[in-house]
Structure 1
């Protein structure tokens, strides 16, 4: 189906699940509520499309690790201290270890993953704003519906040109439910209860899971440099979490 086809189906299914359940009151939304919803709808598309296109080029583990720089940036920028600057340097070293400029480096894939990272950072901030301004999950449902409408023309064209088989469609539907509808609602609910920087730090396990799944399920191979880069980026998040706990007088 290609990255665009998969993302399109994800947005369709998420909208098909959330809109009938939530039934957002669109006419009741004010201009102050509309603008973060519209931006969130755009971010849904750029975040997922950038990630899937990156996975196609550089593999699951590296794509998710680089994308994770988005929430890491939110965590570090929300508390600008010398220690957090050191964490940023550690994460930067991880990026260099993963990218390793050489003739075979897929700069396009790395760039797509970094674009997904910027979108993920925006996703966290916008979700926090939407959750504060719009009750329930009406804002998320509305943004999902708008995002699905944006993908409707290109998705319909792709399916007409290259119709997928039934099993592929079922997998895409599963991705729509498990990777869009459920996490969109879960993220919004979590961001109402925890600060955005804490949410970003708690996502630090994602690169590790992605790398392991890539190796075990997709037969992707990672060298020592790639594993070192993943470890450095995850370590930066752990250090940031320890710093926050100590600053608040808690235990790391």
Structure 2
């Protein structure tokens, strides 16, 4: 790398770091907006509305020409959408039972375990074990209000993590098979269409109330469009390893957002548990294969920029 290139990379890394952290915070603010809809339309209704509005925005911005795609491209995008729908619905359902920081921390086990399985290195299993210990420690801390964590909420968050792992696998394939952001746009449409019948059955006309639509649009923009855009730009300026370590802070960011916006204070034990998971995730990323700035960062942005 030339001196000029190194200088350019160092001068641009500061804003890029801010973009990654801003994207992580944006996702959690979007989840907060979605949770504000739960009382009116329920978790499934909120997921349906957010996915549909995100799909509308993505379709307008990207304008994918899906009618020109091959059967394989359409099939991968449809499968991507199904996983996206399941991931978001189970995550939102988890938020009705456990605090935001707890849900995100449990969800992180999915991609972390996937990373260890794919690398097939024994030391990565140590990081997974450490993260699992952190999640188990969460159960000792409770929900911050003197009650034990609801097991159903933890299970739903872990389920969302499993779907997140599937999302990572499919996003890489979709990113390689479909040029640009078309695959993500079509997947968003599929996800919204899959969840809409369940959301409409439970919420009905309440989905069309002005304040619900406004919250849904905020959730769509903050959880999908804005973080994906920020991460895509950041990936052009940061090594993959640095990018991954920064995203490992997401459970801590979620706990902070939950405390600031939802008054979800967590006990010291839960804070320690979240810190353990953050260390495990950052450690797995930092000790992985040496990263680089990819020529085309969109597939990695698909994998990282999931809708939470």
**TM superposition score normalised by structure 2:** 0.71
Distance 1:65 1:178, change over 3 A: same
Distance 1:126 1:22, change over 3 A: same
Matched, 1:10 2:54: no
Q: SS state of the match for residue 58, structure 1?
A: coil
Report how far residue 11 of structure 1 moved: 1.1
Count of paired positions: 248
Report how far residue 178 of structure 1 moved: 1.7
Aligned residue in 1 for 2:130: 90
Report how far residue 232 of structure 1 moved: 1.0
Report how far residue 111 of structure 1 moved: 0.6
- Where do 1:206-217 residues align within 5 Å? 206-217=250-261
Comparing 176-185 and 10-19, the one that deviates more: 176-185
Aligned residue in 1 for 2:119: 79
Matched, 1:231 2:271: no
Aligned residue in 1 for 2:99: 59
Match 1:118 to one of 138, 154, 162: 162
Give 5+ residue unaligned stretches, structure 2: 1-40, 293-308
Q: Is the 8 A contact 1:51 1:113 kept in 2?
A: yes
Q: SS state of the match for residue 64, structure 2?
A: coil
**TM superposition score normalised by structure 1:** 0.85
Aligned-partner Cα distance in 1 for 2:157–2:190: 24
Matched, 1:154 2:198: yes
Aligned-partner Cα distance in 2 for 1:190–1:131: 17
RMSD of Structure 2 on Structure 1 (CA):
3.0
Aligned residue in 2 for 1:46: 86
Give 5+ residue unaligned stretches, structure 1: none
Aligned residue in 2 for 1:170: 214
Report how far residue 153 of structure 1 moved: 2.5
Aligned residue in 2 for 1:144: 188
Deviations 1:9-47 (A, max 9, x none): 111111211223322222222232222211111111111
